[in-house]
Amino acid sequence: MTRALLGLLTRIRLPGLQVNLEAAAKQQYLFPLVGLLVGLIAALICISLDLAFGDGDPLILGGLLLVALYAVTGIIHTEGLADLADGVMASGPREKRREVMKDPRAGVAAVIAVAVYLLLFFALAVEMCARAGESVTILPIPWHVPFALGFVVSEVSGKLAMNTSMLIGPSAHQGMGSVFVENATARRFAVAVVLAGVVGLMTVGLASILLLVGVAGGAAVTIVARKHLGGVSGDVFGAANEVGRLSALLLWVLII
């Protein structure tokens, strides 16, 4: 994992950090490792809140967890979800839709998309806090796994969704997104999938099958973007991340 990827995908800032898009694009196969780091931080925060305020209001704990998580990840991916919603719901040719996405003003579609996303995310955060200290056994891991490790599955899934969108492409226009699409190869995608699988097996065992939700989510968002915008962009990657992470966390809470 490099400083460039941390600076690009999170709010974590290291001394001397300079984000190099070209370098980050060539290292996109390491995205799942960034997801692992963010997921572990989220799990630690979740467990800490449970230990310190386990008898408190779960709604407040869920809210605190959500704020802490966004402090780590930033809002860039959620912003991408909002922009994509506005672009998809706009009328007119693809060029006009892409212009709508660049408008700094949020439309109704963006507001609704983000509101629904945050409502679901908050509900899941509340449930994660309520069950943070719960131990679950998932084969083939012989020891108990904290329920809070679902955040690792969620964050890695989100990054895998971005990898998927970059591979499928194509670029809707020249920009930051096109740099990643141009550097997306089947080999780099395969390495990302393998890394995600290893991370999943080492943390949550066979429950790592949920990471496939990231691939499916990234593909679904990309199909929508290709239909309405003619291709993908940085905003589409952000939307793919949010769909991938939320879907995986939802399945974790419902199934595990």
pLDDT of residue 13: 76
Is residue 121 one of the residues assigned to a domain? Answer: yes
> What whole-number percentage of the chain has pLDDT above 90?
73
Could you give the dihedral angle defined by the CA atoms of residues 127, 130, 133 and 134, in that order, rounded to the nearest 10 degrees? -70
**Residues 240-250 pLDDT 10s:** 999 999 999 99
pLDDT of residue 133: 78
Instruction: List the one residue out of 35, 39, 36, 30 whose CA is nearest residue 192.
Output: 30
pLDDT of residue 139: 66
Is residue 10 one of the residues assigned to a domain? Answer: no
Average pLDDT score over residue span 32-46? 96
Would the pLDDT of 1 be above 60?
no
Average pLDDT score over residue span 139-152? 82
**Residues 153-204 pLDDT 10s:** 999 999 999 999 999 999 998 888 899 999 999 999 999 999 999 999 999 9
162, 235 contact by CB (below 8 A): no
Question: pLDDT-derived band of residue 7, with 50, 70 and 90 as boundaries?
Answer: confident
pLDDT of residue 30: 96
Is residue 141 one of the residues assigned to a domain? Answer: yes
**Residues 113-123 pLDDT 10s:** 999 999 999 99
CA distances from 252 to 30, 68, 89, 126, 148 (A): 23, 20, 30, 13, 10
Is residue 22 one of the residues assigned to a domain? Answer: no
Average pLDDT score over residue span 8-34? 85
pLDDT of residue 55: 79
| Token pair 């572990």 in the structure block, residue | 40
Average pLDDT over the chain, rounded to whole? 92
> What whole-number percentage of the chain has pLDDT above 70?
96
Would the pLDDT of 103 be above 70?
yes
pLDDT of residue 104: 87
The radius of gyration of the chain's CA atoms, rounded to the nearest angstrom, is: 18
How far apart are the C-alpha atoms of 63 and 61, rounded to whole Å?
5
Helices and strands (H and E) in the chain: how many:
12, 2
Could you tell me which residues are beta bridge partners of residue 145? Answer: 136
Is residue 18 one of the residues assigned to a domain? Answer: no
28, 9 contact by CB (below 8 A): no
Is residue 227 one of the residues assigned to a domain? Answer: yes
Q: How many residues does the chain have?
A: 256
Would the pLDDT of 92 be above 80?
yes
Would the pLDDT of 143 be above 70?
no
Question: pLDDT-derived band of residue 12, with 50, 70 and 90 as boundaries?
Answer: confident
Instruction: List the one residue out of 168, 165, 167 whose CA is nearest residue 183.
Output: 167
Is residue 221 one of the residues assigned to a domain? Answer: yes
pLDDT of residue 163: 98
- Cβ contacts of residue 65 below 8 Å, gap of 6+? 42, 45, 46, 49, 125, 128, 129
Is residue 161 one of the residues assigned to a domain? Answer: yes
Q: Domain containing 228: what range? A: 29-255
Written as six digits, the tokens of 163 are: 């990898």
pLDDT of residue 256: 85
252, 207 contact by CB (below 8 A): yes
Per the structure, the count of domains in the chain is: 1
pLDDT of residue 20: 80
53, 68 contact by CB (below 8 A): no
